[in-house]
Amino acid sequence: MTGGIAPNLSGRVAPFSAQLSYRWQAKRHGIITKAVHEEGGKIALQILHAGRYAYHPFCVAPSRKKSPISLFTPWPLPRWGIKKTIRDFVNCARLAQEGGYDGVEIMGSEGYLINEFISATTNKRRDDYGGAYKNRIRLALEIVEKTREAVGKNFILIFRLSMLDLIQGGSNFFEVIELAQALEKCGVDLLNTGIGWHEARVPTIASMVPRAAFTWATKRLKSHVKVPLITTNRINDPWVADQLLREGHADMVSMARPFLADPHFVKKAREGREREINTCIACNQACLDHIFERKEATCLVNPYAARETIILKKKTSAPKKIAVIGAGPAGLSFACEAAEQGHQVEIFESKAKLGGQFNLALQIPGKSEFKECLRYFQSLLSSHNVPIHYGRQVVAQDFQGKEYDLIVLATGITPRRPDFEGIGHAKVLSYLDVLEGHHEVGKRVAIIGAGGIGFDVAHFLTSVNNEEGAFLQQWGISPDEQLRGGLVEKPAAWFSPREVYLLQRKEEKVGARLGKTTGWIHRSVLSKKKVVMLSGVTYDKIDDRGLHITRSGKKQLLEVDNIIICAGQNPCDDLKVPLQSLGFRVEVIGGAKEARELDAKMAILEGTLLAQSLA
Ligand code: FAD
Ligand code: NAP
Ligand code: SF4
């Protein structure tokens, strides 16, 4: 399935987004369809009209109602505009056929144009495309009916149906059934599942969403239609996909991000090599966040994604003997790539296991997927027979007299400790003390530093075991068939075992620099847990009573049992100079090189790039 391609100008997601309306464009699609067919695949083009979500002033919708996440107020589509839009969908489908596609998917979910017509919240029309439900679904049905007429029988027609709107006033389940059955009559071959409008304040694909959390919404439709159903959202491994099919949740499973993480996913699964799959950890950091930052989408765990012609995999003709110090993501990605090229690599790691800070990250609720990344690295290291010397806190003298062509320093970071009165008090802990479980933490806590780690520690301290099982209930989602949008009106309050303050010195909103597509979730979770988030804080002192701060010129005492330092990190590169003075070529990567704003995306990319730079 391609990404969404607009059937006309007003339907483009953004001014320069893809549109398929002319024959010359269809020809160019032939490059992709041919490549897919040569590999034995089938390919469908998704026709997406962005409706009021479009980021341009020509956006249209059923009614003049701006979405809460849009810049532009839409133009209400006149009746002739609706008829033209239907013709544009049909034209797009026929051009897709000419371009060699095997089918099209009509995007009818996620809050885009067709979905906006379906919901009474966004459709306030008084003509025969508004009012009663049968009128609001008219656009969807006419598009499908006319498309089927135009493309004939031997062309796959998929409709992406919003099975759970996750907005107040969305469709209830009986309406979903009515639409599904009507679409079936109009000639769809397959119904795909849409979960949540983009403006929904419920996470639907981020890592904190448990795997396959929404497939029940597809399953309950199964007995009401004859056409096969496709299920989706947070399905990232073949075992889960297989189980869903066996348990009858759907007839097919759809994934997108997992193929960025590993383009060979299907092949490996088919050949029984599941453990070799590089699993998507649902972080959104290099795919969706990049798109919203107007950068090219790639993948945190697979830096080759969308850069396949830029970072080239090479085999060496002159193998080097290389020592890697540190088995965090930077050291691991380097070691795996260098070994694959044919270099002789060995790893020295001070801890008893590989992974570096990933072992801390996976303690955080909703981040357990990080363990998949470590499983993948482990499987690559085994397949290339890379030795790992665990429990080896390397000092430069260990390498005296050794013969290495290159030493790669991937020793990570040391946590930064701010310097003010009372910082040595027994109440003060570092995030390492907390996440490595070395210390009990009291009921009232202040966290100094509200970066990614401060947020994660706040989430960790305000959570109880087994919260994943409560995901639907926490976010107010219910399978009650009567409920509009699948949401209860008043979700139960969230429980927190602690009172937490999350503090930063900057004046800006706390969490303003978190990921574009996940920051709002982190802020929302902490708000629901009643974490007090304060910006513009000056730290005065710590004593037996707690943390003394000044804010907007006012002195304040936070009476807390513990103060946890999450104030960023410094590079841990002490070995560089001593190793160089022993005559070694030393390359530094990851946190050891630059700790500021270093995240796993950068660490893995740096490891990969250094390996590929070796001749
Ligand atoms: P590290 O992961 O720190 O690895 C360094 C390794 O070197 C360690 O295993 C260490 O034991 C070893 N070592 C150090 N000195 C020696 C020595 N002398 N001899 C032998 N071995 C040595 N990033 C993201 O992108 N997304 C996230 O969601 C995310 N969440 C996080 C959550 C938490 C709680 C934490 C703590 C970090 C998180 N990060 C996240 C940051 C990410 O984990 C780091 O950016 C990344 O691990 C840095 O990789 P690295 O290999 O440079 O260093
Ligand atoms: P960070 O994001 O740089 O945040 C450090 C925090 O400490 C800031 O809030 C900063 O705010 C504060 N601070 C800095 N110096 C201080 C000082 N001297 N005294 C008091 N406060 C100070 O670093 P991090 O939270 O340690 O995270 C490390 C890396 O891991 C980052 O690159 C981050 O992106 C990544 N990470 C990502 C995620 C994720 O979910 N994507 C999660 C965890 C970590 P003020 O200066 O305003 O006080
Ligand atoms: Fe998955 Fe993260 Fe890669 Fe996106 S960047 S495909 S969410 S692992």
pLDDT digits (tens, 9 = 90+) for 211-226: 999 999 999 999 999 9
Considering the domain architecture, whether residues 401 and 430 belong to the same structural domain is answered as no
pLDDT reported for residue 615: 63
353-356 long-range contacts, Cβ below 8 Å, gap at least 24? 353/390, 354/327, 354/378, 354/381, 354/388, 354/390, 355/327, 355/328, 355/329, 356/326, 356/327, 356/328, 356/329, 356/330, 356/331, 356/412
- Are 540 and 548 in contact by the 8 Å Cβ rule? The answer is yes
Cα–Cα distance measured from residue 243 to residue 457, given in angstroms and rounded to the nearest whole number: 33
Residue 283 forms part of a structural domain: no
361 lines ligand 1 (CB under 6 A): yes
Residue 368 forms part of a structural domain: yes
Cα–Cα distance measured from residue 377 to residue 394, given in angstroms and rounded to the nearest whole number: 22
Residue 266 forms part of a structural domain: no
In tens, the pLDDT along 27-63 reads 999 999 999 999 999 999 999 999 999 999 999 999 9
Domain endpoint, select from 255, 276, 308: 255
- Phi–psi pair at 223, nearest 5 degrees: -75, -5
Determine the average pLDDT of the residues in 405-423.
97
Q: What is the CATH number of the domain that holds 595?
A: 3.40.50.720
In tens, the pLDDT along 271-307 reads 999 999 999 999 999 999 999 998 999 999 999 999 9
Residue 303 forms part of a structural domain: no
Residue 285 CA, closest ligand 2 atom number: 41
Q: Which two tokens stand for residue 590?
A: 């990851």
pLDDT reported for residue 467: 74
- Are 326 and 390 in contact by the 8 Å Cβ rule? The answer is no
Determine the average pLDDT of the residues in 245-274.
97
Residue 386 forms part of a structural domain: yes
Q: What is the CATH number of the domain that holds 166?
A: 3.20.20.70
Which of 456, 504, 516, 541 is the pocket-test mutation for ligand 2 (most atoms within 8 Å of CB)?
504
Closest Cα partner for 163 from 73, 229, 93, 243? 229
Q: Whose CA is nearest to atom 1 of ligand 3?
A: 280
Q: How confident is the model at residue 596 (pLDDT cuts 50, 70, 90)?
A: confident
Considering the domain architecture, whether residues 22 and 171 belong to the same structural domain is answered as yes
In tens, the pLDDT along 64-85 reads 999 999 999 999 999 999 999 9
Neighbours of 223 (CB within 10 A): 8
Q: Give residue 177 CA to ligand 3 midpoint distance, Å.
A: 33
Percent of the chain with pLDDT over 90: 96
604 lines ligand 3 (CB under 6 A): no
Cα–Cα distance measured from residue 334 to residue 606, given in angstroms and rounded to the nearest whole number: 8
Q: Which two tokens stand for residue 152?
A: 């004939």
- Are 535 and 421 in contact by the 8 Å Cβ rule? The answer is no
Burial of 477 (0-12, 13-18, 19+ CB in 10 A): buried
Q: Give residue 62 CA to ligand 2 midpoint distance, Å.
A: 44
Provide the residue range defining the domain that includes 129: 4-255
Considering the domain architecture, whether residues 130 and 229 belong to the same structural domain is answered as yes
283 lines ligand 3 (CB under 6 A): yes
Q: Whose CA is nearest to atom 4 of ligand 2?
A: 451
Q: What is the CATH number of the domain that holds 480?
A: 3.50.50.60
Considering the domain architecture, whether residues 169 and 196 belong to the same structural domain is answered as yes
Residue 498 forms part of a structural domain: yes
- 564 sits in which H/E element: strand 562-565
Considering the domain architecture, whether residues 544 and 454 belong to the same structural domain is answered as yes
Considering the domain architecture, whether residues 10 and 155 belong to the same structural domain is answered as yes
Which of 293, 301, 373, 375 is the pocket-test mutation for ligand 3 (most atoms within 8 Å of CB)?
301
Determine the average pLDDT of the residues in 341-357.
97
* pLDDT at 468 > cutoff 80: no
Q: What is the rounded end-to-end Cα distance, in angstroms, of the chain? A: 38
Q: What is the pTM of this model?
A: 0.96
Considering the domain architecture, whether residues 391 and 502 belong to the same structural domain is answered as no
E-strand stretches of 256-343: 321-325
If you write DSSP's letter for every residue of 201-257 in order, what string do you get? SS-SSSTTSPTTTTHHHHHTTGGG-SS-EEE-SS--SHHHHHHHHHTTS-SEE--SH
Q: How confident is the model at residue 438 (pLDDT cuts 50, 70, 90)?
A: confident
Considering the domain architecture, whether residues 523 and 378 belong to the same structural domain is answered as no
Considering the domain architecture, whether residues 351 and 377 belong to the same structural domain is answered as yes
pLDDT reported for residue 597: 81
In tens, the pLDDT along 111-147 reads 999 999 999 999 999 999 999 999 999 999 999 999 9
Q: Give residue 258 CA to ligand 3 midpoint distance, Å.
A: 7
In tens, the pLDDT along 164-203 reads 999 999 999 999 999 999 999 999 999 999 999 999 999 9
Give me the residue label for tokens 């007090």: 532
Q: Which two tokens stand for residue 400?
A: 């005296």
Considering the domain architecture, whether residues 242 and 372 belong to the same structural domain is answered as no
Domain endpoint, select from 218, 234, 255: 255
Residue 142 forms part of a structural domain: yes
- Phi–psi pair at 537, nearest 5 degrees: -95, 140
Mean pLDDT, the chain, whole residue set:
96
Number of domains in the chain: 3
Question: What is the dihedral sign for C-alpha 128, 130, 135, 141?
Answer: positive
Domain endpoint, select from 255, 282, 312: 255
Write the CA distances from 6 to 44, 47, 287, 391, 554, integer angstroms. Answer: 14, 6, 21, 56, 54
If you write DSSP's letter for every residue of 580-601 in order, what string do you get? HHTT--EEE-GGGT--TT--HH
Considering the domain architecture, whether residues 581 and 444 belong to the same structural domain is answered as no
In tens, the pLDDT along 482-526 reads 999 999 988 889 999 999 999 999 999 999 999 999 999 999 999
Neighbours of 182 (CB within 10 A): 17
- Are 416 and 568 in contact by the 8 Å Cβ rule? The answer is yes
Determine the average pLDDT of the residues in 245-258.
98
Considering the domain architecture, whether residues 236 and 337 belong to the same structural domain is answered as no
* pLDDT at 466 > cutoff 80: no
Hey, which residues are catalytic here? 112
Question: What is the dihedral sign for C-alpha 183, 187, 190, 194?
Answer: negative
Residue 307 forms part of a structural domain: no
Which residues touch 87 (CB under 8 Å, ≥6 apart)? 146
